[in-house]
Amino acid sequence: MPIRKCKFTPTAFGPEPQLLARIINPVNGQATKGLFKAKIDTAAAFCTIPGVYVGALGYDFYDGKSEVRTTGNGNVTVYPCIATIEIYHPYTQELCYIIEDTVVDIIPEYDGDLILGVHDFLDKFRLTIDYPKKHFTICRSRSLKRKIKPTDP
């Protein structure tokens, strides 16, 4: 289900395009409780999970392989893992999209919102942002219909 003309969310850094999300660990089925903010970040290469959600999801990221990524805030150590991301409409809280088995980076010391970056998220959607009017539209790309589970026909 497309999310159309959704207003930006006011934040301390100014209005931003945000969705609501839930993260599921596909290995053990553990999920975050409730919905939380997910920032659409066209400058972020990867999706990022804040470290505060790691316990609820049952990830043991220190046993995994770490990588160093360059961000707008400098170099940071990340722990890539596989997750399912559920995207909900910010107004109705209706489930809109399910992205299964996607790579996300865990940053233990990061305590902000979920970051929805280009690889393994935005590259599956058509995103239109109207900055002057401060709203956005996001819908699945017709060329990638099989990679995203829509919640309606």
Q: What is the pLDDT of residues 56-75, one digit of tens each?
A: 898 876 666 889 988 887 89
**Structural domain count of the chain:** 1
Per-residue tokens: 25: 């660990």
Q: For residue 56, tell me if it sits in a domain.
A: yes
Q: Judge whether 148 lies within some domain.
A: no
What counts of helices (H) and strands (E) characterise the chain? 1, 11
Q: What are phi and psi of 93, to 5 degrees?
A: 60, 25
Q: How far apart are CA 14 and CA 134, in angstroms?
A: 11
97 has pLDDT over 60: yes
Q: CATH number, domain at 97?
A: 2.40.70.10
Residue 151 counted as domain residue: no
Q: Is the pLDDT of residue 109 over 90?
A: no
For residue 73, tell me if it sits in a domain: yes
119 within domain boundaries:
yes
Which residues touch 127 (CB under 8 Å, ≥6 apart)? 40, 42, 136, 137, 138
Structural domain range at position 112: 3-142
